[in-house]
Amino acid sequence: MDFSLTEEHLMAQQMVRDFAHNEIYPTIKEWDRKQQLNPIVLPRMAELGILGINIPVRYGGQGFDYLTLALVCEELERVDTPLRVIMSVHMGLNSMSVLQWGTEEQKQRFLVPQAKGEKYAAFGLTEPNAGSDVAAMSSTARREGDVYILNGEKMWISLATKAHHILVFAKTDPHANPPHSGITAFMITDDMKGVTSGDIHDKLGVRAGSTGWVAMQDVEVPVENRIGEEGEGFYIAMAALDNGRYTVGAGAVGLIRACLEDSIKYAHSRETFGKPIAKHQLVQQKIAFMQQWYDASKLLIMKAGWLKNIGQRNTRETSVAKWYATDMSVQAALEAIQIHGAYGFSDEYDVERYLRNGKGAVIYEGTSEIHQLMQAGYALGFREDRPLRCELPAYDPEFWQN
């Protein structure tokens, strides 16, 4: 296992770091207060090639590997979580699903414009009454000739009002036993008749992002927009979550780093009892814990990325990485606020936003409790990953870069 970074890794990392810090960071507080996505974010990410960073060049992407995706997510969330959320839904949940499960025609029609940033993508799985219990979804898809008629509502959808393409899931067989075997995946577009969407405001965190709902009323979706086979939707969704969780975990690494770096800076500048608080042992203890959490989280994510690069199934490894990194990002934010004292309780400093943003990640892409159950299942021998008809392709430089 070699986690050393190549010149290409470092180049992509620096490019994203410069973009996030120089172009987005100066106005983060303004857009967080407005509860709106900065309108330059998506166009600039598209222009820089970030929205297709690890998609093969032949499909409009930049041709970097899966480790690069983790580095990009870390740098984006180091500045603000909504930047990484874009990568989680556009890349991890949607584009990588088309790369894994789509036909060649679907890759040309959906993946190419998404990788180029000409179209933005989202993912519609969660519903008002169906979150962790995916099989409880009530959205339906009825086939009539060459189209499916979709009805239902999706909730807590990032980029709901920005996306042109939305990968949604609906029951083609509502009476299937087991229930998850009746779920099918479809790509809908924002211009289809019967598709409506709206924004959700007043969230605890990720306020400078775009979160909303998508409703489908008698939406006619062509058969050629079905991703995978009928009844295969549950497995497509779970495979998508493997990739989404990878990006969320990688972003949490960046959030821990933000807490650590901001706390170190403040500890050197703030004085109490005649000396910098960095000299106080209990402050040092908090810094030490954050460093430990950062190092451990980074290694877990790098391992998952390495497994993706070599084409090995990584559901367990990605789950534990996401679980640990997101839990520790919340703990790091709490410690950072404590170090900042009263200033940490106001938005004069960034650490209060880190806590608000970090809390979302222990809920979406599988709650921490779901990941605990998954890890227990693996350890006790109750859970085993079944082979998929379409596995995520291993990183092949010759294929990816040509």
Largest CA distance in the chain: 79
Give the number of other CB atoms < 10 A from CB of residue 334.
Answer: 17
* Cβ-proximal residues to 375 (8 Å cutoff; 6+ apart), any chain: 316, 319, 320, 323
Which of 292, 347, 296 has its CA nearest to residue 323? Answer: 296
Report the sign of the C-alpha dihedral through residues 387, 178, 132, 97, in that order: positive
Distance CA(192)–CA(125), nearest Å, equals 18
Q: Which domains does the chain have, with CATH numbers?
A: 7-120 (1.10.540.10), 123-230 (2.40.110.10), 235-400 (1.20.140.10)
Provide the pLDDT for residue 74.
Answer: 98
Three-state DSSP class for residue 80: coil
Write out the catalytic residue numbers: 365
Give the H/E segment covering residue 146.
none
Query: Mean pLDDT, 10 residues at a time, over the chain (402 residues)?
Result: 90 98 97 97 98 98 98 98 98 98 98 98 96 92 98 98 98 94 97 98 96 98 98 97 98 98 98 96 98 98 97 97 98 98 95 98 96 97 94 96 93
Provide the pLDDT for residue 3.
Answer: 82
The predicted model scores a pTM of 0.97
Provide the pLDDT for residue 29.
Answer: 96
Provide the pLDDT for residue 2.
Answer: 80
Q: Are 121 and 129 in contact (CB under 8 A)?
A: no
Provide the pLDDT for residue 303.
Answer: 97
Burial of 322 (0-12, 13-18, 19+ CB in 10 A): buried
